[in-house]
Amino acid sequence: MKGQIEMKQELFFGNWLSAATDEKLEIHEQSWLLAEDGKIKSLGKEKPQVAESVRVHNFGDKLLIPPFSDLHLHAVQAMNCGLGLDLTLLDWLKTYTYPEESRFADPAYAEAVFRRVIHELWKFGSLNSIIFSSLHKEATLLLMKLLQEAGLRAYVGKVNMDRLSPDYLHESAEESLAATREWLEESRAYGALVKPIITPRFAPSCTDQLLEGLGLIVEDYDLPLQSHLNETPEEVALVHELFPRAQNYLEVYEHFGLLPRGKTVMAHCIYNSREEEAFLLEKQITIAHCPSSNMNIASGISRIRDYMKEGFLIGLGSDISGGESLSMQQVIKDALKSSALLSRKRKLTVPPLSLNEIFYLATRGGRAFFPESGGFEEGLSCDFLVIDDEVDKLPRQFSLEERLHRFLYYASPDEITTRVLAAVILPEPQL
Amino acid sequence: MKGQIEMKQELFFGNWLSAATDEKLEIHEQSWLLAEDGKIKSLGKEKPQVAESVRVHNFGDKLLIPPFSDLHLHAVQAMNCGLGLDLTLLDWLKTYTYPEESRFADPAYAEAVFRRVIHELWKFGSLNSIIFSSLHKEATLLLMKLLQEAGLRAYVGKVNMDRLSPDYLHESAEESLAATREWLEESRAYGALVKPIITPRFAPSCTDQLLEGLGLIVEDYDLPLQSHLNETPEEVALVHELFPRAQNYLEVYEHFGLLPRGKTVMAHCIYNSREEEAFLLEKQITIAHCPSSNMNIASGISRIRDYMKEGFLIGLGSDISGGESLSMQQVIKDALKSSALLSRKRKLTVPPLSLNEIFYLATRGGRAFFPESGGFEEGLSCDFLVIDDEVDKLPRQFSLEERLHRFLYYASPDEITTRVLAAVILPEPQL
């Protein structure tokens, strides 16, 4: 057993803001946070008594908030950000996405792009993320290695797809399953922060044989799973055509054992049937709400605030390059905007997402995958972002809550000046 | 008559992209633009023969695009950006907007805020703008003076409002009209770039007496006019209640002579009746489409692409602080996003705005007010932005059109490195 004297302590001072629940903004103004071995020990007004050797980080009047969790993004689509956003899902995949993803057979290209993605995750404060790679095993391992080196926390998935893809981006079911098992063995090297996640692209991209094999792998390795669900009406129609025996889209995944309870994240979830909604709840599936993408490629608006109030697990995803940016501030704005439009559509009978609700989704929405991050309670990992909003230069005063509003809805991402994970300040990743 | 030898010439080199029409992106790759006395003389591949003394600005492989025109913004609401965006229009006015606007009785506060607004207009490349000030005459004159000093082109309006406003932000009709005439006399000092525009806040804020008096001023001074129209159903209902004899909202303005032909800009225009649409066309009224604001405060989505195709005059407005940012890149993204959602609502039977259509709206949409700016044809003012997208550092190549996409939909505003108006590089305004 470790003696207290061996524990590594750090002290941090500033204004701490977190979303304790979706209804409550928790503020610790001008307070001290004590970390021990990377975990939060205490947070309060009084300065803890510590040894003189303990390092003190004084962030003065700055805002300190939990890091963002980006629950859905395609690292291999990063170079397409901002391109082709006047197409809809299925056309967009063929015209922009598949050609770009095929480039990741080249490790040099993969490294150049992944370094940019990792730099942006760091820059924008998304210290927790759940990532789609491409179908290439080597590129996927490289992405995991680079994330680990950058000190970011992530789940990464090698994509599986053996149907409806072009010749130049195709694997057979056997190849896909074999490569997945190899990848899982080789990815054991990245255990602490970076973990594998099973990643069938989406049901239409996979034959029964592939889905069945992936179900066995999920069971064998006790792994989490990510995929897409009910993004557009056209996609839902395609699933019905390809899987005529399934009652609905979600049942396709369930049939093959691809919904590990409490460890599944499904992107989008806009066009859910009542049966699927009940099942999403029952299986404790996390919904990755991707409002930027859902607007960009004309998918629609998910009734995310209802779901939150009904007890669903929900977080936010940038979904690049359906979403155009890895900035969670952009995703937060888009969540608010699309929620407000839904409120208008319902003649304002239901309010749009509030500031605290969006803050909660952005920081705590990944709690099924990152239970150690997202808040400042004792025992959690000491993770936070430092926001320097240069408030002393502004013509008038703002409350801490207003400063948080301004940061989330208005500010440049450059206001994030420092990122801390497990009490360690993360250095800028190499480009 | 000026001899040719006296003309001040400048030569600019780079990649020129502009929206010649809403259907055509015009590209002059690696071309030379010759300016004479601040106006465009020629643009072509061949280097013009000029005297050795003529200054050459070589922007190499960078993108050169026309500046943005922001057709609707409230300079006095700048400090509210990002605040209160979970309220709807009428509540938001009472809770956030009116208290903030009342601060502009204080010239020191006004100057501090206006300097920030002007810095952002410069930074984000909005070299042409149409601006609401507050009802304060002195603050409005100060704003005009500071814009003139910064070298930005703008119309600025002292707001008129004698109804439905709180005691602390109120003027009688007589006071308002007298102050307006004084302001117009004093604003003659800012003639070249910065011009006055008559600005009734919106019909519900003005009594018949005030509207009638403003109509006479428009006629006396031959002035343009800006206001709001059909932003929310609640506002439209309020207009019907307050002006029961008017057939519709637009008729209120028309009745009092407040729609000078080809010189009126109306923000929003979401809930137009058929009669109003016909009248908007007939009077050549410019619609300032403000998608960020229309989403933020749950106003709705204007069918802007239809209007464009039907020949309406339409441009974009940031509408801070209904919109959260003065960045036209943000407004462009939101125009695309809301247009895509409208396309989905219509089951994809009508396409969303294309890149070129949005680029056209952002650069040429203000042509009724800024006919000298927005393109690179001979005779226009030599106005442009220099975009440094550091394309040589990217892992793969992009076409010029793709680079424009990336800039408009994805890039940081920091990629705008230089702003040119009338062939003069605008220095960074003092904060």
Q: How far is B66 from chain A (nearest CA, A)?
A: 20
Interface mutation vs chain A, best among B119, B295, B359, B391, most A CBs within 10 Å: B295
Whether residues B333 and A344 touch (CB distance < 8 A) is answered with: no
Whether residues B352 and A292 touch (CB distance < 8 A) is answered with: no
Query: Running DSSP on this structure, what letter comes out for residue A167?
Result: G
Query: B301 to chain A: nearest residue by CA?
Result: A341
- Predicted confidence at residue A406, as pLDDT, reads 96
DSSP lists the bridge partners of residue A58 as A13
The whole-angstrom separation of Cα B187 and Cα B179 is 12
**What number of other Cβ atoms are within 10 A of residue A284's Cβ?**
16
For A82, the closest of B79, B81, B409 (CB atoms) is: B409
Q: At what angle do helices B355-364 and B328-345 cross, to 10 degrees?
A: 130
- The residue behind tokens 């109120």 is B170
Band of pLDDT at residue A14, cut at 50, 70 and 90: very high
Please report residues of A whose CB lies closer than 8 A to that of B348.
88, 298
Classify A282 as helix, strand or coil.
helix
- The residue behind tokens 């908030």 is A65
Band of pLDDT at residue B190, cut at 50, 70 and 90: confident
Tokens matching residue B350: 């009508």
- Predicted confidence at residue B2, as pLDDT, reads 45
Region for residue A133 given its phi and psi (left: phi exceeds 0; alpha: psi -120 to 50; beta: otherwise): beta
Range in A119-133, B77-91, B391-405 the model is least confident about: B77-91
Query: A346 to chain B: nearest residue by CA?
Result: B298
Whether residues B351 and A113 touch (CB distance < 8 A) is answered with: no
For A410, the closest of B88, B325, B340 (CB atoms) is: B325
Please determine, for residue B89, whether its predicted confidence score (pLDDT) is greater than 90: no
Band of pLDDT at residue B321, cut at 50, 70 and 90: very high
Whether residues A411 and B109 touch (CB distance < 8 A) is answered with: no
Task: Write the DSSP assignment of A104-141 as a string of letters.
Answer: GGSHHHHHHHHHHHHHHHHHTT--EEEEE--S-HHHHH
Give the β-pairing of B55-65 and B384-387.
antiparallel
Please report residues of B whose CB lies closer than 8 A to that of A299.
344
Query: Running DSSP on this structure, what letter comes out for residue B75?
Result: G
Please report residues of B whose CB lies closer than 8 A to that of A88.
348
Sequence length of chain A is 431
**What number of other Cβ atoms are within 10 A of residue B225's Cβ?**
24
- Predicted confidence at residue B93, as pLDDT, reads 86
DSSP lists the bridge partners of residue A129 as A70, A154
Phi first, then psi: give them for residue A223, nearest 5 degrees: -110, 155
If you compute the radius of gyration of chain A from its CA atoms, what whole number of angstroms results? 21
Query: Running DSSP on this structure, what letter comes out for residue A261?
Result: T
Cis peptide bond upstream of B321, omega within 30: yes
- Predicted confidence at residue A5, as pLDDT, reads 55
Tokens matching residue A338: 């699309």
Whether residues B344 and A406 touch (CB distance < 8 A) is answered with: no
- Predicted confidence at residue A118, as pLDDT, reads 98
The whole-angstrom separation of Cα A146 and Cα A328 is 21
Please report residues of B whose CB lies closer than 8 A to that of A334.
337
Report pLDDT digits (tens) over A258-299: 999 999 999 999 999 999 999 999 999 999 999 999 999 999
Whether residues A341 and B343 touch (CB distance < 8 A) is answered with: no
Please determine, for residue B191, whether its predicted confidence score (pLDDT) is greater than 90: no
- Predicted confidence at residue A56, as pLDDT, reads 97
Classify A15 as helix, strand or coil.
strand
For B11-41, give one letter per residue: b (16+ CB within 10 A) or e. bbbbbbbbbeebeebebbeebbbbbbebbbb
Look at residues B292, B401, B269, B285 and name the one whose alpha carbon lies nearest to residue B338: B292
Interface mutation vs chain B, best among A268, A387, A410, most B CBs within 10 Å: A410
Sheet holding B313-316, edge to edge: B225-229, B264-268, B286-289, B313-316
For B62-94, give one letter per residue: b (16+ CB within 10 A) or e. bbbbbbbbbbbbbbbbbbbbbbbbbbbbbebbe
Please report residues of A whose CB lies closer than 8 A to that of B298.
340-341, 343-344, 348, 352
Look at residues A89, A227, A198 and name the one whose alpha carbon lies nearest to residue A140: A198
Please determine, for residue A1, whether its predicted confidence score (pLDDT) is greater than 50: no
Tell me the mean pLDDT in the region A161-171.
Answer: 93
For A343-372, give one letter per residue: b (16+ CB within 10 A) or e. bbbeeeeebbbbbbbbbbbbbbbbbbbbeb
Query: A414 to chain B: nearest residue by CA?
Result: B412
Contacts of A190 (CB under 8 A, 6+ apart): A144, A145, A147, A148
Give the CA distances from residue B143 to residues B80, B109, B118, B128, B225, in Å, rounded to whole numbers and listed in that order: 18, 12, 9, 14, 18
Tokens matching residue A131: 């990532």
Please determine, for residue A348, whether its predicted confidence score (pLDDT) is greater than 90: yes
Report pLDDT digits (tens) over B329-388: 999 999 999 999 999 999 999 999 998 999 999 999 999 999 999 999 999 999 999 999
Residue A25: burial class (beta carbons within 10 Å; 0-12, 13-18, 19+): middle
> pTM here?
0.96
Interface mutation vs chain A, best among B334, B337, B361, B407, most A CBs within 10 Å: B337
Band of pLDDT at residue B189, cut at 50, 70 and 90: confident
Please determine, for residue A4, whether its predicted confidence score (pLDDT) is greater than 80: no
- Predicted confidence at residue A3, as pLDDT, reads 47
Whether residues A395 and B79 touch (CB distance < 8 A) is answered with: yes
Amino acid (one-letter) located at B258: L
**What number of other Cβ atoms are within 10 A of residue A237's Cβ?**
11
The whole-angstrom separation of Cα B95 and Cα B99 is 7
The whole-angstrom separation of Cα B156 and Cα B134 is 10
- Predicted confidence at residue A372, as pLDDT, reads 98
- Predicted confidence at residue B87, as pLDDT, reads 72
Specify whether the CB–CB gap between A260 and B306 falls below 8 A.
Answer: no
**What number of other Cβ atoms are within 10 A of residue A23's Cβ?**
11
Tell me the mean pLDDT in the region A156-162.
Answer: 98
Classify A431 as helix, strand or coil.
coil
Tell me the mean pLDDT in the region A316-336.
Answer: 97
Whether residues B410 and A324 touch (CB distance < 8 A) is answered with: yes
- The enclosing H or E element of B118 equals helix B107-123
Residue A115: burial class (beta carbons within 10 Å; 0-12, 13-18, 19+): middle
Tokens matching residue B411: 């890039």
Classify A402 as helix, strand or coil.
helix
Look at residues B178, B128, B179 and name the one whose alpha carbon lies nearest to residue B156: B128
Tokens matching residue B288: 């300032």
Tell me the mean pLDDT in the region B114-132.
Answer: 98
Range in A181-195, B203-217, B262-276 the model is least confident about: A181-195
Look at residues A369, A305, A376, A373 and name the one whose alpha carbon lies nearest to residue A335: A305
Query: A358 to chain B: nearest residue by CA?
Result: B86
For B344, the closest of A292, A298, A355 (CB atoms) is: A298
CA B89 vs. chain centroid, Å, equals 20
Q: How far is B216 from chain A (nearest CA, A)?
A: 38
Band of pLDDT at residue B5, cut at 50, 70 and 90: low
Query: Running DSSP on this structure, what letter comes out for residue A229?
Result: E
Specify whether the CB–CB gap between A11 and A424 falls below 8 A.
Answer: no
Cis peptide bond upstream of A321, omega within 30: yes
Upper half-sphere CA count for residue B160 (Cβ side, 13 Å) = 31
The whole-angstrom separation of Cα B76 and Cα A403 is 19
Look at residues A282, A302, A427, A307 and name the one whose alpha carbon lies nearest to residue A360: A307
pLDDT above 70 covers a percentage of chain A that reads 99
Tell me the mean pLDDT in the region A84-94.
Answer: 80
Task: Write the DSSP assignment of B240-257 as a string of letters.
Answer: HHH-TT-SSHHHHHHHTT
Q: How far is A178 from chain B (nearest CA, A)?
A: 30
Give the CA distances from residue A102 to residues A98, A99, A181, A352, in Å, rounded to whole numbers and listed in that order: 6, 5, 21, 40
Tell me the mean pLDDT in the region A361-385.
Answer: 98
Query: Running DSSP on this structure, what letter comes out for residue A428?
Result: P
Query: Running DSSP on this structure, what letter comes out for residue A259?
Result: -
Please report residues of A whose CB lies closer than 8 A to that of B395.
79, 109, 112-113, 116
- Predicted confidence at residue B113, as pLDDT, reads 98
- The enclosing H or E element of A102 equals helix A98-102
If you compute the radius of gyration of chain B from its CA atoms, what whole number of angstroms results? 21
Range in A153-162, A300-309, B12-21, B77-86 the model is least confident about: B77-86
Number of H helices, E strands in chain B: 14, 17
Report pLDDT digits (tens) over A178-216: 999 999 999 988 878 999 999 999 999 999 999 999 999
Whether residues A296 and B336 touch (CB distance < 8 A) is answered with: yes
Band of pLDDT at residue A88, cut at 50, 70 and 90: confident
The whole-angstrom separation of Cα A145 and Cα A191 is 10
Whether residues A352 and B86 touch (CB distance < 8 A) is answered with: yes
Average pLDDT, chain A: 96
Sheet holding B69-74, edge to edge: B69-74, B128-132, B153-157, B194-196
